[in-house]
């Protein structure tokens, strides 16, 4: 995705947006705005993973137009807020690498299950590659989903006994019920 397609909200060009506000009410609004901006951005760019240490490389956190960057500590605190609603999760202890779910894992899983049931694919086995990269899913939202995230989504489905993951080394597949 090229950067030009992204429509930035007005806040993105408002310098105070990049400073964490001390006034409680203002900060709440600010964090809220950041949360939706991050999810929107990730959705448009199909970005599943954010490394906080390299955040300044992402235009989302670095507006070179007004020369403002969001600090790493602030990014982490906003991502932690997103974690509370299931829209993000750190995948390492120091909280440097974050998976972003612009749909929560539950939303993703129902989306995938809907797709499977619409196509009558229950009972058959699909490879993870088919599910995320195959030609059939080109128009689905989960097309090109990152493998690690996909596995997590399917694992939530597995808990509801709607599928079973087959995770051998060579062929990683899933059987839907």
Cβ at position 87, least distance to another protein in Å: 16
Phi, psi (degrees; rounded to nearest 5) at 156:
-65, -35
Question: Which has the closest alpha carbon to 95: 148, 55, 146?
Answer: 55
The residue (of 32 and 80) whose beta carbon lies closer to another protein is 32
Distance from C-alpha of 10 to C-alpha of 17, rounded to nearest angstrom? 10
Task: Give the interface with another protein as residue ranges (CB under 8 A).
Answer: 9-11, 14-19, 21-23, 25-26, 29-30, 32-33, 36-37, 67-68
The residue (of 58 and 74) whose beta carbon lies closer to another protein is 74
Cβ at position 136, least distance to another protein in Å: 34
Cβ at position 85, least distance to another protein in Å: 16
Cβ at position 29, least distance to another protein in Å: 5
Sign of CA dihedral 72, 78, 80, 82: negative
Cβ at position 57, least distance to another protein in Å: 19
Distance from C-alpha of 34 to C-alpha of 139, rounded to nearest angstrom? 28
The residue (of 4 and 10) whose beta carbon lies closer to another protein is 10
The residue (of 14 and 142) whose beta carbon lies closer to another protein is 14
The residue (of 43 and 119) whose beta carbon lies closer to another protein is 43
- Which residues fall within 8 angstroms of residue 163, CB to CB, at 6 or more apart? 113, 154, 157, 174, 175, 176, 177
- Which residues fall within 8 angstroms of residue 19, CB to CB, at 6 or more apart? none
């Amino acid at each position: 995705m090229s950067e030009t397609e992204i429509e930035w909200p007005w806040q993105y060009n408002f310098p105070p947006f990049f400073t964490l506000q001390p006034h409680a009410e203002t900060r709440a609004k600010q964090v809220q705005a950041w949360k939706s901006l991050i999810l929107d951005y990730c959705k448009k760019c199909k970005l599943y993973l954010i490394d906080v240490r390299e955040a300044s490389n992402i235009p989302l956190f670095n507006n070179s137009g007004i020369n403002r960057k969001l600090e790493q500590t602030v990014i982490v605190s906003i991502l932690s807020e997103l974690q509370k609603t299931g829209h993000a999760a750190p995948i390492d202890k120091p909280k440097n690498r974050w998976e972003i779910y612009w749909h929560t894992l539950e939303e993703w899983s129902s989306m995938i299950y809907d797709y499977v049931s619409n196509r009558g694919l229950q009972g058959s086995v699909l490879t993870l590659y088919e599910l995320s990269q195959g030609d059939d899913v080109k128009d689905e939202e989960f097309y090109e989903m990152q493998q690690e995230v996909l596995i997590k989504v399917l694992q939530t489905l597995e808990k509801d006994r709607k599928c079973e993951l087959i995770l051998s080394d060579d062929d990683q597949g899933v059987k839907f019920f």
